[in-house]
Structures are given as C-alpha cells and as structure tokens.
Chains A and B, each alone.
Chain A
Amino acid sequence: MGTSTKRSVADTIWLILAVISAIMILIALYLSLIWAPEASNLPTETERLVQRVFYFHVSAGWVGFFAFMVTAVAGIIYLITKKRRWDFIALASVEIGVTFTTANVISGSIWAKPTWNTWWPWNDPRITSAAVVLLIYIAYLMLRNSIDDPERRARLAAVYGIIGFISVPITFLSIRWWRTIHPAVVGTGSDTSQGGFDMAPDMATALMFSVITFTLLYFVLLRLRVRLEDQREQVEDIKTRMLEE
C-alpha cells in the first residue's frame, strides 16, 4: 500500500482544508473581536464587550447540534450496513460535539455573568437544554467505555445515539416551556428576555463567517479522528496476526 511514504490525493486535500480552516479561524477571530460593530443598544461597556462571545458561542452550539445529528444518522447507517466505519464516524462526531457543546455552554455562562448577573441561569431554557444534551452524550461516551466487544459496542452505541438525538428537540421544547428568558437574538427580543440586541448587517456577516469556519473545522477534526480510529484498528489487526504466527 505504501501509505507511510506516499500521501494519497485525499490526504493532501484534507491537509489543505486543515490549513484553510486554521487561517479562517484567525480571520473569524479578527471579524468577531475587532471588525464587527459594537452592540450599541446594550447599556454597559462590559455587556458590549462580552457580547462578542456570541459569534463563537453560536457557532460552537451549531457544530455541537450538527455533530450529534451526524452521530444519529451514522448510527442508523451502521445498524443497516454493519460497517465499522460508520461507528467510527458516530464516535468521532460525539467527541467533537461534546467538545463544542462544552465550549458553547461555558461561553454562554461567561456571557450570562455580566448580562444576567449569574454564571448559571437555570431560568434560561437554551443553556439548560444544552447542559442536558451534554449529559446525554457524556452518557454515550460512558456507555461505549463500559462495553468491550467492538461489535456490540457499536450496535448499542448506535441505538443510544439515535434515541439521544430524538430526545434533543423534545428536551428543548420542554425546557423552553419550563422557563423563557433567553434573548431572541435576531430581530426584536420578546418582553421577557433581556440582553438581546438588534443585529447589524456586519454582525450577521461575522456570524456567518464564524459558523462556516467552525463547520469546516468540524469536518477536518472528524476526518482526523476517524483516521485515527482506522489506524488503531489496523494496529490491533497487526497485533492479533503477529500473535497468531
């Protein structure tokens, strides 16, 4: 195969994409921290400054949600085809999703402190939902860790990944009905929400760029993580073969 010396075309393309996503992250940082205008309708300077967390906060939240959707879809395909690769994709996607959702929850909490004067606003439905979703996927990783047989692990993880994802919209809905104060960011906020701001066109551009950057980063990470799992499996195979000889 000669994979060790020669890079395949796909590998080169992925390397280029990785470099592009690194550059785009720098641009996204510039756009959201310097270029985008201040949210001028917010009362205090701290609130105006911390509002800039919003670009990465929203992007991380989106990637988290997208990653868990990929896991559910990969789980369905795994159950139908029984191809190991889909299990690797499901696992990789959960790991990335958990990382980004954690970033989303933490950045939300940092924003909430000056704006709502509390680190952890239980009365905000979205932050609470994100935390519950995070727990579901931490449980997913724990489930995988506690099953040794690879085939069974893949099968049961696929089932949990599907059920977990079905519960995401229901959890969001139930927590939204439970309490509502999160600002409706785009357009005018409702009377009950505080901290909302009207989005200027430049803000929308910065947000859009940030979302695209994070999505590309997701695919690069996914590819790397799946390849790592592929290689780990190859090593296992080689080990078993050598032991047999």
Chain B
Amino acid sequence: MDYLRKVGAIVWKDVTAELRTKDILSSMLVFALLSVVIFQFAFDLRADNVRLVLPGVIWISITFSGVLGLSRSFILEQDRGSMEGLLLAPMDRSAIYFGKFLGNLLFIFIMELVLLPVASVFFNIWLLTPSLILVLVLGTFGFAAVGTLFSALSINTRAREVMLPILLFPIMVPVLIAGVRATGSLLDGETLGDISHWLRLLLAYDAIFFAAAFLLFDFVVEE
C-alpha cells in the first residue's frame, strides 16, 4: 500500500509538472496530428482503399509521437537536476520506474484519445470501437514498458534523443506487427476471437517486458 502511494506520488508529480508546462502533451499531440495529415497526403494519391493503409498510419503515428514523449520523460528530470532527488528518495527504485511508466502510459493514452477521432474524420472510418481500443491499450502498454526503461537508459548517452528510437524500434517490431495486423483485421470486420493469437502475443510481450524492465531498471539508474 505504501509502495503504491509512492508510485502515485511520482505519477502525480509528472502530471502536475505537465499541467503547468504542457510541454510533452502538446508536442506529442501536434506531432501525431501532423503525421496523420502527412500520411493522408502521402497515400491519398495511390491507395484506392484507405482501409489498407490506415492500420499502419495509426501505429506509425502512435510510435513516432509516443517516442517523442518518452524521450522527454527522463531528459526533463536530468536537465532540471531532479533525477538525483528522485534517486535519493527513500523508496525502492522500481517505484520510480512504475511511476514513470504510468505517467508515460497516461500521456500516450491521452494522445491516442485525440488521434483516433481525428484519424476517423480524416479517413472516414470510425476507429473508437471497444475491440480496437483493447488492441491499442495492449500495444501501448508494451511500448511504454520498454520505452520508459530505454528513456532512462538513453539519457546517459551522448546523442540522447537520437538514441531512444534506435534502441526502441527494433525491439518494438512484435508490437508493431501484432498491432497493425490486429487493427487491420478488426477494420475488415473480423471479431476479437479471430485475432486472439495477436492479442495473446501482445499480452505475452507486455508481461515479459514489463517484468524485465522492472527488474533491470535498478541497474540503469545506479550511480
């Protein structure tokens, strides 16, 4: 219970900081919208059926704008000098990971909540269905789990912002494949039962990488 309160404190700290500056969310949202618009221009001329490209468009937009938010997550802490403060706090370091992870997850969810209706309007296909949201939630969970760990990892490198996508994207391939495939099947009118193997893959990915990141986070921030 005490542990959860500490986690909650970190999430609350990130949310409060974000409410004051609106740095992360605004850049993520604008980037997500821009990428949808750019994809619309890029594909509109060739694809007769937007259903074919839409799953890819959604997932690429989420991945790219998500990585934008993730990269800020720990860079801000370091640049403000608050990383030391976090590390000195009397608590298990996994609580920092858990709190940061939840904060990142929240920001990406908010971005998706704006992205989906806009994409629905642009591409004229309604995207906010419960089964699609389930796929997005499962995919985003794994993305944020690995992304939060790598965000903490990449602040120690020379090319901080550049390093994160290079480290993250090859590891994200399973999420991207499962996400795009499952989204595509749902758009084609298949049911959750038809895509259950993709859902199981996403679930397994989420569980394995969340556990691994949770265990390894200590070594990343150790000084």
A binds B: yes
**Interface-forming stretch among A36-44, A161-169, A200-208?**
A161-169
Interface flags for A62-84 (1: CB within 8 Å of B; 0: not) read 00000000000000000100000
Residues from chain A with a CB closer than 8 A to the CB of B158 are 146-148
Within 8 Å by CB of B174, from A139, A148, A171, lies: A171
Q: Which residues of chain B come closer than 8 Å to A159, judged between CB atoms?
A: 149, 153, 216, 219-220
Q: Please, which residue of chain B has its CB at the minimum distance from the CB of A79?
A: B219
In the complex, residue of chain A having the shortest beta-carbon distance to the beta carbon of B204: A170
> With contacts A155-B219, A174-B174, A175-B177 known, is A160 near B197, CB below 8 A?
no
Q: Which residues of B contact A178 (CB under 8 A)?
A: 177, 181
Contact B222 A155 (CB under 8 A): yes
Interface of B is mostly: helix
Interface size of B by CB at 8 A reads 31
Contact B157 A170 (CB under 8 A): no
Q: With A142-B163, A143-B163, A156-B156 in contact, is A162–B216 under 8 Å at CB?
A: yes
The yes or no answer to B193 lying at the interface (CB within 8 A) is: no
Q: Is the CB of B146 within 8 A of A147?
A: no
| Residue A158, interface by CB 8 Å | yes
Residues of the A chain whose Cβ atoms lie less than 8 Å from the Cβ of B171 = 136, 163-164, 167
Q: Judging by beta carbons under 8 Å apart, are B163 and A174 in contact?
A: no
Q: Which residues of A sit under 8 angstroms from B174, Cβ to Cβ? A: 167, 170-171, 173-174
24 A-B residue pairs with CB within 8 Å? A133-B170, A135-B169, A135-B170, A142-B166, A143-B163, A146-B157, A159-B149, A159-B153, A159-B220, A160-B153, A160-B167, A163-B146, A163-B216, A166-B212, A167-B173, A170-B204, A170-B205, A170-B208, A171-B174, A173-B201, A174-B173, A177-B177, A177-B201, A178-B181
Q: Which 6 pairs across A and B sit closest by C-beta, in order of nearness?
A: A174-B174, A146-B157, A135-B170, A136-B170, A146-B158, A174-B177
Given contacts A146-B157, A177-B181, 19 further A-B contacts (CB under 8 A): A79-B219, A132-B170, A136-B170, A136-B171, A139-B170, A142-B163, A143-B167, A146-B159, A147-B156, A155-B222, A159-B153, A159-B216, A163-B149, A163-B209, A166-B209, A170-B205, A175-B173, A177-B197, A177-B198
